[in-house]
Amino acid sequence: MRREYPLKLVLDKLGLSKSTYYRYAGGRNPKPDRWSEVRPLVREAFSRTPNGLGYRQIAMALRAEQGLAISGKTVLKLMREEGLSCRIRRKRYSSYRGEEGKIAKNVLNRDFAAGAPMEKLVTDVTEFKVAGGKAYLSPVMDLYNNEIVAWSVSRSPNMAQAMEMLDRLEPLLRGPALLHSDQGWQYQQLSFQRRLERMGLVQSMSRKATCLDNACMEGFFGHLKDEFYRGREFDSFDSFKEQIDAYIAYWNTRRYQARLKGMAPVQYRSHSIRAA
């Protein structure tokens, strides 16, 4: 049969993984598979996002949820045997249009550590191609635990979207805070800057063409597009919005992060409050 049909096609039709095929291909009884009970857990964790998870994420999920003492390298090996792989990141969207207003100082200055929730916040805008048009996500991340605390999804990256994002952020503020962004045109507008002042937010901006000044948000966008967006098509803007809302809920509650001691953002915040 292998001579007539590609091996991958045959295995897909039979619902078998490559690792299972090669264990039995020699015609002899295979050695016991010490990872036989772990493989389904790896496949389940990988399937939690449309484009799959990386080996570090899966390893943290297995340790946090199953109590397994398993290394990232072992998970990577199992993923390769199961034919599981993630997609590669591509070029980022930029809202920079030159100087259209006042450029704020880089107050954050790559000091991404925060001592308490809602003290240091970062924001940006990213673009998606959706149903023959475009969609834009404007989120706010709390640097204390990398939680996405507020966001807006729109068909246009306009001032209405920026203000909607602030509308959703304002009730969550606990006092004065810092809001960092790039030099996107909307963040330079006087109306946006006055709104920040009324909300008690100090504005901070990255240096021109220096995405690492907002590295945490850039990292979130990269993971979002790897795990949720690449290679997918959406029937409508509303469907896309509903699914991206679900991904953000997943990010906040079930996406484990090494910087958060292997916990998800909401779990880390709750743990820190109990420990205080």
Q: What pLDDT score was predicted for residue 94?
A: 56
Q: Under 8 Å CB-to-CB from 41, ≥6 apart: which residues?
A: 62, 66, 68
Mean pLDDT, residues 19-25 taken together: 64
Same domain, residue pair 137 and 4? no
Same domain, residue pair 132 and 235? yes
| 252 vs 45 pLDDT, higher one | 252
Same domain, residue pair 6 and 52? no
- DSSP annotation of 97 reads -
Domains in the chain, number: 3
Q: What pLDDT score was predicted for residue 27?
A: 55
Q: Which domain, by its residues, includes 192?
A: 120-275
What is the rounded distance in angstroms from the CA atom of residue 271 to the CA atom of residue 276?
9
Average pLDDT, the chain: 88
Q: What pLDDT score was predicted for residue 276?
A: 60
Q: Which of 113, 87, 120 is nearest to 204 (CA)?
A: 120
Q: Which residue has the tokens 């308490």?
A: 116
Q: Which residue has the tokens 């191609």?
A: 129
90 occurs within a structural domain: no
Q: What is the pLDDT of residues 146-202, one digit of tens each?
A: 999 999 999 999 999 999 999 999 999 999 999 999 999 999 999 999 999 999 999
Least reliable range by pLDDT among 40-54, 110-124, 242-256: 40-54
